[in-house]
Amino acid sequence: MKKRVAILGATGSIGTQALDVIKAQPDAFEVEVLTAHSNADLLIQQAIEFQPNAVVITKDELYETVREALASHPIKVYAGMNAVNSVVEMDSIDIVLTAMVGYAGLESTIKAIEAGKSIALANKETLVVAGQLITQLAREKGVNIYPVDSEHSAIFQCLAGEFHNPIEKIILTASGGPFRGKDRNFLQTVTKAQALKHPNWDMGAKITIDSASLMNKGLEVMEAKWLFGLKNEQIEVVVHPQSIVHSLVQFEDGSLKAQLGLPDMKLPIQYALHYPNRLKSDFPRFSFLDYPTLTFEQPDLETFRNLALAYSAMEKGGNAPCVLNAANEVAVAAYLRDEIGFLAMSDLISDCLAKVAYIATPSLSDLVHTDQETRRMAQELVNG
């Protein structure tokens, strides 16, 4: 039986790599749904190639373009976010890959879990914002959430066969990004072109900036907390510039297991979509002789304040991670428009964390409100 896959955010870095995986494994997978936001041309091209049951373009004004281009194909075409929220419920879908970027993926992830669909989760921001609600809902619905993020996939792979053994701690590896070893004076003047050049991974713009600021690792610490049911103090971060050891788990007997490989998202994507079975692949193989030195160092929390801010939002809990995420999304977008400097991103996030009203046990509507309120405040701070 082929697995029928819905890809939310098919036109992005994860979405296109997922389609490469599916194309290489035609006996294992079939594309059921594709969604995109603004890249109508690529969505049309993907739809013609993969012949899904339905596509959704979330920018309403692009609906006619997509509909006309696919008129001669037996493919349903919808527009808008509400359409994404309903297509994820289709009976014919086995697994939903959440590869949208940011908070925008929250509602559709919840709808997919409510409909009982397995989730291959790339969209880490949803777990940062609403990890408690999402994981509780998944437990109630008996839905499995398979991690796509390389670090979390590494931990999940280390846990295979060990799910009954308690975890002592996990160690998330971080590349350190393009500015590893630099000081705040240097960061004061870094351009977005420099920040967008990640040493090891080729990813979407938002996560690439998050990697340069170490916010990505802060988001991943919270993602790990919810995916693996960990206490805050069980999660450590170590900088590993070669990005070969993708993360580690330490068990109660002291044994440490790691998963290694070249930095290539296709492997974790394929593992999440086809769990528990591994599929034979021709992904490039790692050789120790090409990497005779693997190194590890402490993250620099004073220079990269975003990681410290993420830790403090996680400690505070409640709606604080939602505030952190919304402020960060506004800050990154402003940085990418050259409206604020690199270090101003942390100032803006820190201001929002201090000012937005704290809610200890937020409902979904509290989180929606917190997100809106924080975005408004953050945008005011950007505008000065």
* Residues of the shown chain interacting with Mg ion in the complex, contacts defined by CB under 5 A: 149-151
Count residues contacting ligand NDP (CB under 6 A)?
27
User: Which residue, 30 or 223, is less far from ligand NDP as judged by CB?
Assistant: 223
What is the residue type of 106? L
Residue 310 binds to ligand NDP (criterion: CB under 6 A):
no
CB of 223 to Mg ion, least distance (A): 8
8 Å CB contact between 170 and 247 = yes
8 Å CB contact between 59 and 38 = yes
Sheet holding 256-260, edge to edge: 235-239, 167-174, 245-251, 256-260
CB of 20 to ligand NDP, least distance (A): 13
Of the candidates 19, 101, 21, 52, the one whose C-alpha atom is nearest the C-alpha of residue 281 is 21
Residue 101 binds to ligand NDP (criterion: CB under 6 A):
yes
* Percentages of the chain per state (helix, strand, coil), in multiples of 5: 50, 15, 35
**Partner whose footprint covers residue 152, from Mg ion, ligand NDP, none (CB < 5 to 8 Å by kind):** none
Residue 122 binds to ligand NDP (criterion: CB under 6 A):
yes
**Partner whose footprint covers residue 352, from ligand NDP, Mg ion, none (CB < 5 to 8 Å by kind):** none
Pairing of strands 118-121, 29-36: unpaired
> Which tokens sit at 28?
């294992």
Write out the E strands in the chain: 3-8, 29-36, 54-57, 76-79, 95-98, 118-121, 145-147, 167-174, 235-239, 245-251, 256-260
User: Which residue, 46 or 150, is less far from Mg ion as judged by CB?
Assistant: 150
Candidates 55, 138, 143, 203: give the one binding ligand NDP (CB under 6 A): 203
Residue 123 binds to ligand NDP (criterion: CB under 6 A):
yes
User: Which residue, 15 or 299, is less far from ligand NDP as judged by CB?
Assistant: 15
Any idea which residue has 């692949």 for tokens?
Answer: 281
Cα 329 to chain center, whole Å?
13
Residue 12 binds to ligand NDP (criterion: CB under 6 A):
yes
CB of 173 to Mg ion, least distance (A): 9
8 Å CB contact between 121 and 145 = yes
Candidates 29, 34, 50, 58: give the one binding ligand NDP (CB under 6 A): 58
Residue 14 binds to ligand NDP (criterion: CB under 6 A):
yes
**Partner whose footprint covers residue 123, from Mg ion, ligand NDP, none (CB < 5 to 8 Å by kind):** ligand NDP
Residue 321 binds to ligand NDP (criterion: CB under 6 A):
no
CB of 238 to Mg ion, least distance (A): 14
Of the candidates 92, 149, 83, 82, the one whose C-alpha atom is nearest the C-alpha of residue 115 is 92
Any idea which residue has 């160092």 for tokens?
Answer: 297
Cα dihedral 272, 275, 279, 284 sign: positive
User: Which residue, 263 or 355, is less far from ligand NDP as judged by CB?
Assistant: 263
Which stretch, 3-11, 184-192, 240-248, 292-300, contacts ligand NDP (CB under 6 A)? Answer: 3-11
Candidates 36, 170, 269, 320: give the one binding ligand NDP (CB under 6 A): 36
What is the residue type of 172? L
CB of 297 to ligand NDP, least distance (A): 22
Interacting residue ranges for ligand NDP, rule: CB under 6 A: 9-15, 36-39, 58, 99-101, 104, 122-125, 149, 201, 203-204, 206-207, 265
